[in-house]
Amino acid sequence: MQVKIGIFLCDCGGSLRNIDFPKIRGNLEKLEGVAFVDISHNLCLEEGGKALASRILSEDINRVVIAACSPELCEHNFMRLLESLRLNPNFLSIANIREQCSWAHKEDVTGKALELLRMAINKARLLQPLERKEVPVNQEVLVVGGGFSGMESTLELSQLGLRATLVEKGSALGGKLSELEGFYGLGASPKEMLGSMTRAIEEGKNIEVLTSAEVTRVEGEVGNFTVRIRRGGEEFPRSFGAIIFATGYRAGILPRDFELRPSVNIISQRNLIEILQAPEKLERKPETIGFILDVSDESSRLATLLVLNNALAVKEKWGSEAYVFCRNLKVDSDGAEKLYREARATGIAFLKFEKKPQISEEDGRVKVEAKDVLLGEEISLSCDILVVEEKGLPPEGTEALSSILNIGLDSQGFYQNENVYLYPVDSGRKGIFLVGACRGDLDISRASMDVASAVMGVCELLASGKAIVEAEKVRVDPDKCRACLTCIRVCPHGAIRLVRVNTEKEVAQIYDLACEGCGICAAICPAKAIDFEGYTDEQILAEVEAIGE
């Protein structure tokens, strides 16, 4: 098809005065393949758009070059306009002569504007049509992890009419809900809550629960994951459109933080909860109990909650004296501030240190020496029991799962999720969501928010049963691909896989729906087998070529 370019210059209501538009027109009209150069004052308004449309139709052009404001502002609208004229929306190339030219410089910038236009024209000549196509998506959802977050996700999905399969590693549902006695920020006790959620799941529609089961492999992409599940001795494949991970966390003590050996007198929060639940284990009531928090500098939301809970509990059950040594209290979770006030009101003492306290054991008691920065005094406390803080650690198998999923981990071994461009529950791979405590230090109210956003994300992808994609925008040329696997290893969104084309040849293939269009693969392929329409090597270099012509 002969390239026939129509050029529209917009002077933004006559406000771009440091550009000589007629001069530019004169210059561009002579270029090969240019059908016309129009000057408009208001391309973005209805009137301007109509004029543009009628010119495109009457001159029968097949490439549109627009010099106007930033493409971030206008590109989308012009693409839709082209589409309405039955011209492929990819046949559009925009020169930003406003923000990045007229507005950015004081002096006359006709020369620069002309160059920006030549760049856009050079690119326009090479543009290829992109077709949009509909792909079916599987509407079943896999939820991994049967704690609060996993159960809540399952329930919400089923209420929205999506079929959910809940896979739990343990023999029963509940996660932390079944382990913990007292919970704050909830109307009900964890046990009651677990009871009602379990019932709802049993009665719920479209729900399948697999306990004592684990995920061993995840293949494919959004809309079409193939997951291998192991249960008992057997392993079987299942297909899902999306996956929600709610694998929670495991509470643990970091020994390097304490340099302490747990003993009868130095115990973990978990030990204390056990004793609280079965007081007969105790020979006599402890009179003085110390709690210690933030020995390493990161203060944790959940550790704070736990200490507050437990300090209150020992006060209530045994009437013991309770002292909390801490660096900072993180009370930003629901109800934590209230809890803290309650603790102070019942006479629990809070001591704030900056330098790590000295801890020693003598005569069956534990001595804690610290400098309180508020009192400015050295304090020495001898207590019957010292309860050390617990940290949230990633559950066992997180590393293995992350490599199955091709998702990164943060420095603490939790799933990576801190990225300003991603929603917190996004994993970086489309269709895979991370919710609840598997993302780190989250309480129930935050876990519920996660669940809500993940379920919304799933609906967006799967609710209609199909998705619209730009087909082969990023494409591997099967003849050039050497199956070196580089692109598969580097794609940050896990959108590429190896497919077999015949008995002896395998090549990389990009899954349109999962591809987020970053071009990392195209830049790295050692065989130059990947093309990214709109940003092919040729198109980028054609732009470079126009500079300073």
Partner 1 sequence: MIVAERKPLEEIKEMIAGYKRILIVGCGTCVTICWAGGEKEVGILSSQLRLAFGKDGNELLTSEVTIERQCEREMVEELRDKVQEVEAILSLGCGAGVQTIAEVFEETPVYPALNTKFVGMPEREGVWVETCRACGDCLLGETGGICPVVRCAKGLLNGPCGGTKRGKCEVDPEKDCAWTLIYRRLEKQGRLDLMRKYYPPRNFQAVTRPGKVEALQA
Partner 2 sequence: MGGNNKIVAFCCENSACAAADRAGKIRLYYPDNVRVIRVPCAGRVDVLHILKAFEKGADGVLVMGCQEEACRHLTGNTRARERVKYAEILLKESGIDGERVRMVNLAPEMAHKFAQEVSEMTERLKGLGPTPIKNGGPQR
The residue within the footprint of ligand SF4, chosen from 270, 520, 540, 545 (CB under 6 A), is: 520
Considering the rule CB under 6 A, would residue 413 count as an interface residue with ligand FAD?
no
103 binds, among partner 1, partner 2, ligand FAD, none (CB under 5 to 8 A by kind): partner 2
Residue with smaller CB distance to ligand FAD, 351 or 451: 451
Task: Point out which residues pair with 249 in neighbouring strands.
Answer: none
What stretch of H or E contains 83? helix 71-84
Angle of helix 190-203 versus helix 148-159 axis, rounded to 10: 40
Give the interface segment with ligand SF4, choosing from 251-259, 377-385, 464-472, 489-497 (CB under 6 A): 489-497
Considering the rule CB under 8 A, would residue 480 count as an interface residue with partner 1?
yes
- Joined tokens for residue 469: 């994609």
**Vertex 63, ends 58 and 64: CA angle to 5°?**
80
Q: 302-335 burial, b if ≥16 CB within 10 A, otherwise e?
A: bbbbbbbbbbbbbbeebebbbbbbbbebbbebbb
CA atoms of 298 and 296, how far apart (whole Å): 6
Shortest CB 375 distance to ligand FAD, Å: 29
Residues 6+ apart with CB under 8 A from 234: none
Residue with smaller CB distance to ligand SF4, 130 or 520: 520
Residue with smaller CB distance to ligand FAD, 95 or 444: 444
69 binds, among ligand FAD, partner 1, ligand SF4, none (CB under 5 to 8 A by kind): none
Shortest CB 498 distance to ligand SF4, Å: 7
For residues 339 and 305, is the Cβ–Cβ distance under 8 A? yes
Residue with smaller CB distance to ligand FAD, 425 or 469: 425
Give the interface segment with ligand FAD, choosing from 43-51, 61-69, 163-171, 373-381 (CB under 6 A): 163-171
548 binds, among partner 2, ligand FAD, partner 1, none (CB under 5 to 8 A by kind): partner 2
- Joined tokens for residue 518: 């970053």
The region, left, alpha or beta by phi > 0 then psi within -120 to 50, assigned to residue 299 is beta
Subset of residues 493 to 532 that bind partner 1, contact rule: CB under 8 A: 524-528
Backbone phi, then psi, for 75, in 5-degree steps? -55, -50
What stretch of H or E contains 405? helix 398-405
Residue whose entry in the numeric block shows the structure tokens 């049509």: 129
98 binds, among ligand SF4, partner 1, partner 2, none (CB under 5 to 8 A by kind): partner 2
Subset of residues 438 to 467 that bind ligand FAD, contact rule: CB under 6 A: 442-445, 447
Residues 6+ apart with CB under 8 A from 492: 428, 516, 518, 520
By the criterion CB under 8 A, which residues form the site for partner 1? 480, 482, 484-486, 489-490, 524-528
By the criterion CB under 6 A, which residues form the site for ligand SF4? 474, 476, 481-487, 491, 493, 495-496, 508, 510, 515-521, 525, 527, 529-530
By the criterion CB under 6 A, which residues form the site for ligand FAD? 144-150, 167-170, 175-176, 180, 183-185, 214-215, 246-249, 251, 269, 302, 305-306, 309, 395, 397, 401, 436-437, 442-445, 447
